[in-house]
């Protein structure tokens, strides 16, 4: 693939025919233009009327505007520039049939003319992306179309060339898609992500532009977990030093969550999904499988995404199972061998809006028990030889604003956290001393570094 740097600066705006969308009316007069995702204002007089006239002429009658459901561009009409030219992208359906239509309208000297119009059998517009697909240095128009009957979306790509529009066909359907340079060749790859069906498994396919076929074709593929029934988050980011990848958070049966990380191994010239393991009897396992509704992220703000691995803390048989807290370890994928390196261990209190960073000396030596009725989490020395809890070394509690003064008298110190739930509740903590090991004892300044608001 050629390496070309786009010279475009997208000045994208949304010109919304708000009245038509709100009322479902067809292309009548007195349609207002809004400013959704407005990065440059439309030129004052004439533009909106001229664009409306161009759409009416292409529709051949009355029409209804259609709006993308996902992505950055949510307008039925989006203004964009390509190589210095001004264009409008319009989605609509006509009253004469149920087909969706997309028109590219070119503007020059306040004159707007349709230079390309295409129909699609989809049931809605999924999303719009502006990226250079054919490596000519100009951004192309990628449109995803919903198909509610099949559950898989279809793709169309449009390239503006010599004041005309060429459509590139894409054979693959998708549940999720993106444009990203996952192969690291400085060109945009079309990434197609699909969930499993009765006929096929889940997969991630990288498509690259073929100069011979004049369209993107499949180049690399990797298997994904077929037990994932829905993707809850898909994004492209740095996953290791010098390596970017695609992070896929998903939901499985029983409300279980999992994270997969796909990257391109240049040495082996293939895509890899190292967190997914398949046994000989086709059982799929992943160390990130969890019940907690939590997603992969750059948790320690070092510029690299970590994945969560959750394990229950130690407990004795007499401890109530529901009271034993879990340890959420934030781990970085090491692409040289597929291993996970722990970056930070945390105990997350979702109900009360904070998390506690476990000191290194506490790992394996301290456990935590919760008391939901008191809104309290207490930390105890864990005796691995006897399998029992020992001295209490910390209690963290959520107090109402009216109770905090009494809590202070009882030895609790407010931690000054700004909780995201908008209440005036106060998180306060009380430290205790243990003689088991002095390195387990914390002072107030160390404690305050360990507790953060969610």
Q: pTM for this structure?
A: 0.86
Q: What is the pLDDT of residues 380-437, one digit of tens each?
A: 999 999 999 999 999 999 999 999 999 999 999 999 999 988 889 999 999 999 999 9
Separation of alpha carbons 343 and 330, rounded Å: 6
Percent of the chain surpassing pLDDT 90: 79
Nearest alpha-carbon partner for 141 in 163, 125, 175, 165: 165
Distances (CA, A) of 213 to 3, 45, 74, 141, 374: 19, 43, 31, 18, 66
Nearest alpha-carbon partner for 14 in 55, 75, 64: 75
Q: Which two tokens stand for residue 356?
A: 């506690």
Instruction: Work out whether strand 13-14 and strand 413-414 pair parallel, antiparallel, or are unpaired.
Output: unpaired
Q: What is the pLDDT of residues 40-79, one digit of tens each?
A: 344 434 678 899 999 999 998 889 999 999 999 999 999 9
Q: What is the pLDDT of residues 293-338, one digit of tens each?
A: 999 999 999 999 999 999 999 999 888 777 999 999 999 999 999 9
What lies within 8 Å, CB to CB, of 19 at 6+ separation is 25, 30, 31, 32
Residue 110: pLDDT band (50, 70, 90) is confident
Virtual CA dihedral for 215, 219, 223, 225, nearest 10 degrees? Answer: -40
Using the Cα atoms of residue 241, residue 244, residue 246 and residue 247 in order, give the sign of their dihedral: positive
Separation of alpha carbons 65 and 395, rounded Å: 58
Separation of alpha carbons 133 and 179, rounded Å: 8
Radius of gyration of the chain (CA): 28
Q: What is the pLDDT of residues 343-353, one digit of tens each?
A: 999 999 999 99
Nearest alpha-carbon partner for 273 in 265, 281, 191: 265
For the cut 70, the answer to whether the pLDDT of residue 9 exceeds it is no
Nearest alpha-carbon partner for 419 in 402, 399, 394: 399
| CB half-sphere exposure, 296, CA atoms < 13 A | 32
Separation of alpha carbons 200 and 196, rounded Å: 6
Average pLDDT over residues 197-215: 94
Beta bridge partners of 297: 306
Burial of 430 (0-12, 13-18, 19+ CB in 10 A): middle
Q: What is the pLDDT of residue 148?
A: 86
Q: What is the pLDDT of residue 42?
A: 44
SS3 sequence of the chain: CCCCCCCCCCCCEECEEHHHHHHCCCCCCCCCEECCCCCCCCCCCCHHHHHHHHHHHHHCCCEEECCCCCCCCCCCEEEEEECCEEEEEEEEEECCCCCEEEEEEEEECCEEEEEEEEEECCCEEEEEEEECCCCCCCCEEEEEEECCCCCCEEEEEEEEECCEEEEEECCCCECEEEEECCCCCCCCEEEEEECCCCCCCCEEEEEEEECCCCEEEEEEEEECCCCCCEEEEEEEEEEECCEEEEEEEEECHHHCEEEEEEEEECCCCEEECCCCEECCCCCEECCCCECCCCCCECCCCCCCCEEEEEEECCCCCCCCHHHECEEEEEEEEECCCCEEEEEEEEEEECCCCEEEECCHHHCCCEEEEEECCCCEEEEEEEECCCCEEEEEEEEEEEECCCCHHHHHHCCCEECCCCCCCCCCCEEEEEECCCCCCHHHCCCHHHHHHHEEEC
For the cut 50, the answer to whether the pLDDT of residue 3 exceeds it is no
Percent of the chain surpassing pLDDT 70: 90
């Amino acid at each position: 693939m050629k390496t070309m740097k786009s010279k475009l600066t997208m000045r994208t705006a949304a010109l919304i025919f708000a009245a038509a969308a709100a009322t479902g009316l067809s292309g009548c007069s007195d349609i207002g233009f809004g400013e959704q995702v407005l990065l440059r204002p439309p030129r004052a007089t004439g533009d909106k009327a001229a664009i409306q006239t161009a759409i009416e002429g292409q529709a051949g009658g009355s029409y209804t505007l259609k709006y993308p459901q996902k992505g950055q561009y949510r307008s039925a009409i989006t203004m964009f520039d390509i190589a210095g030219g001004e264009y409008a992208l319009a989605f609509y359906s006509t009253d004469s049939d149920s087909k969706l239509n997309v028109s590219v309208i070119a503007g020059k000297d306040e004159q707007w003319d349709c230079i390309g119009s295409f129909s699609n059998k989809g049931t809605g517009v999924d999303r719009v992306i502006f990226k250079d697909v054919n490596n000519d240095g100009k951004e192309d128009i990628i449109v995803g179309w919903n198909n509610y009957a099949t559950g898989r979306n279809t793709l169309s790509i449009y390239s503006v060339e010599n004041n005309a529009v060429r459509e590139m066909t894409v054979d693959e359907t998708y549940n999720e898609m993106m444009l990203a340079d996952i192969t690291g060749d400085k060109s945009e790859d079309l990434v197609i992500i699909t969930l499993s069906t009765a006929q096929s498994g889940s997969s991630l396919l990288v498509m690259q532009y073929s100069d011979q076929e004049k369209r993107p074709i499949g180049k690399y593929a990797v298997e994904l977990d077929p037990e994932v029934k829905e993707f809850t988050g898909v994004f492209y980011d740095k996953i290791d030093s010098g390596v970017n990848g695609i992070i896929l958070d998903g939901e499985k049966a029983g409300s279980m969550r999992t994270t997969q990380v796909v990257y391109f191994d240049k040495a082996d010239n293939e895509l890899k999904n190292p967190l997914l393991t398949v046994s000989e009897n086709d059982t799929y396992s992943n160390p990130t499988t969890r019940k907690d509704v939590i997603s992969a992220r750059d948790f320690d703000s070092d510029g690299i995404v970590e994945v969560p691995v959750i394990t229950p803390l130690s407990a004795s048989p007499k401890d109530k199972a529901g009271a034993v807290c879990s340890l959420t370890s934030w781990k970085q994928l090491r692409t040289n061998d597929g291993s996970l390196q722990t970056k930070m261990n945390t105990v997350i209190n979702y109900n009360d809006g904070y998390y506690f960073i476990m000191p290194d000396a506490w790992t394996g030596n301290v456990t935590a028990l919760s008391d939901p009725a008191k809104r309290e989490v207490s930390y105890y020395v864990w005796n691995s030889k006897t399998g029992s809890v020992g001295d209490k070394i910390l209690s963290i509690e959520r107090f109402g604003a009216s109770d905090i003064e009494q809590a202070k008298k009882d030895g609790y110190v407010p931690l000054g956290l700004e909780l995201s739930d908008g209440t005036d509740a106060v998180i306060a903590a009380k430290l205790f001393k243990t003689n088991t090991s002095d390195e387990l004892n914390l002072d107030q300044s160390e404690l305050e570094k360990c507790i953060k608001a969610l």
